[in-house]
Structure 1
Amino acid sequence: MLYKKKDKAKKQPDAAPASPSSPATSSEDPYDLSKLQDGISTALSQLKDDLAKNRVGGRFNTESIEFLRVKPHKGSKDSVKLGELAQVVPKGGRMVTVLASEEDHVKAIASTIVSSNLSLTPQPDAHNALQLNIPIPPPTKESRDHAIGLAKAAMEKANSSIRDSRGALHKRLQDMQKKKLARPDDVRKAHEHMEKLIEKSHKDVKDLFETARKALERV
């Protein structure tokens, strides 16, 4: 009897096979391209923002002034965005006004704008000590060429970001195939879907750039 009990005890651990739902045997979905899609959407959104900030002529983009860093107090090491110290308002035609929240900040704001690469010269308003008036110079061939160069750099940045997202997904699919977490046929089809998305996204990037380039050339 003792021998039978002992024999039964030895066999018992082998009687419970690993559960099919065990994490060790679960696999990822090779058709899950959500991270790639998110990466593409982020790249396109950033490109649109970059192109919108890169205008010459027409209505001046006030963000180029608002994002300048200002040291509000003389000798201060800390700086803040100009937009936190003043309102920047396009006044129509080729004029922008900057309305400071405090008179003590006006001089620092004016100095920051003059020393920036925007080629702007703020002028104190004769009727309001808190206000600076900034005439916007007309675009030149050099400024157009510079803007187009910046647009091209933004396009290349977007394409690079999309390639990075593709590389991450390609590596994940390769790992899944090596570890046999997905069938080779599913991995192949997932690659095909991936490449179609990448091809479309690069076309979208190019279209956005071409639209911006033509607008810049018309100014």
Structure 2
Amino acid sequence: MSHIKAGKANKAHAHSDSSPPVSSLSPATPTDEALDVSSLESQILKALERLTHELSQLRSGGRLNPEIVEGLKVLLGTQSSGKETVRLGDVAQVVPKGRVLNVMVGEPDHIKPITTAIAASTHNLSPLAPDASSPLTIPVPIPPPTGESRQAALDTAVKVAEQADRAIHDARAAHNKRLRKYKLERSVLPDDLEKAGKRMEEVVKKGHAEVKRIVDGAKKVLESQ
């Protein structure tokens, strides 16, 4: 009997040793959630990243980001064999050199459709025919800046800044809605809600200030081109 009891005891002991440890982390309380602004900060960061990317695509006419040309859509193929639309950057490489973008094509059959796509774009580009020494390279001169192109770029910068500010405003509204919910439920003390509200406003204020800083910097670059 003693052996049986010992065996049972050993089994019980073995079972307890293999059981997962009890987590010492307690679930977040409504107060913790109210004071947590990480989600708000994440949404603002996404808005700033999108703003920075869109501003990098702008030009006043004096410079041209290769990514703009790489992003153009090119129609390849023939009516009989079938046509497909591809991204220019997937079938060619764009290499800037001074005031010229060299579009290096992989296939001779792609020269014409790529040239057509570049010429038909809204960027006022006039691709040249490949030189005999580089039959697979399409030179694309970058047009000089004009007052009109510079102003158009500045106007676009203002618009994308407004979009970023609106995204931050929407993120604040969503966060504030959560705080109102806690207030109605009375699940968070008034003092903590006040602290959460101040923390939210500080994050939002910094976000708007960062939008202004980024856009002001971009405007200076555009105006200097």
Ranges in structure 2 where 5+ consecutive residues have no aligned partner: 1-25
CA distance in 1, matches of 2:118, 2:130: 16
Compared CA separation, residues 74 and 28, structure 1 to 2 (3 A): farther
- Of 54, 66, 86, 1:80 maps to 86
Amino acid in the other structure paired with 1:85: V
CA distance in 1, matches of 2:78, 2:209: 49
Q: Which residue does the alignment assign to 2:113?
A: 108
Q: Which residue does the alignment assign to 2:147?
A: 141
RMSD: 2.0
Amino acid in the other structure paired with 2:58: N
Deviation readout 1:114-139 (Å, 9 max, x if unpaired) = 11101111112222221100111100
CA distance in 2, matches of 1:28, 1:190: 9
CA distance in 1, matches of 2:118, 2:66: 12
Q: Which residue does the alignment assign to 1:11?
A: none
- Of 20, 27, 30, 1:27 maps to 30
Q: Which residue does the alignment assign to 2:127?
A: 122
Identity of aligned residues (%): 40
CA distance in 2, matches of 1:173, 1:122: 56
CA distance in 1, matches of 2:83, 2:160: 31
Q: Which residue does the alignment assign to 2:214?
A: 208
Give 1:199 shift. 1.2
Compared CA separation, residues 141 and 177, structure 1 to 2 (3 A): same
Aligned: 1:49 with 2:53: yes
Whether contact under 8 Å (2:126, 2:141) holds in the other structure is: yes
How many residue pairs match? The answer is 197
Whether contact under 8 Å (2:76, 2:83) holds in the other structure is: no
SS at match of 1:71: strand
- Of 70, 85, 98, 2:74 maps to 70
CA distance in 2, matches of 1:206, 1:117: 28
The TM-score normalised by the length of structure 2 is: 0.82
The TM-score normalised by the length of structure 1 is: 0.84
Amino acid in the other structure paired with 2:127: P
Deviation readout 1:125-158 (Å, 9 max, x if unpaired) = 2222211001111000000000001111110110
Compared CA separation, residues 65 and 179, structure 1 to 2 (3 A): same
CA distance in 2, matches of 1:54, 1:69: 18
Between 54-63 and 106-115, report the one with greater CA deviation: 54-63
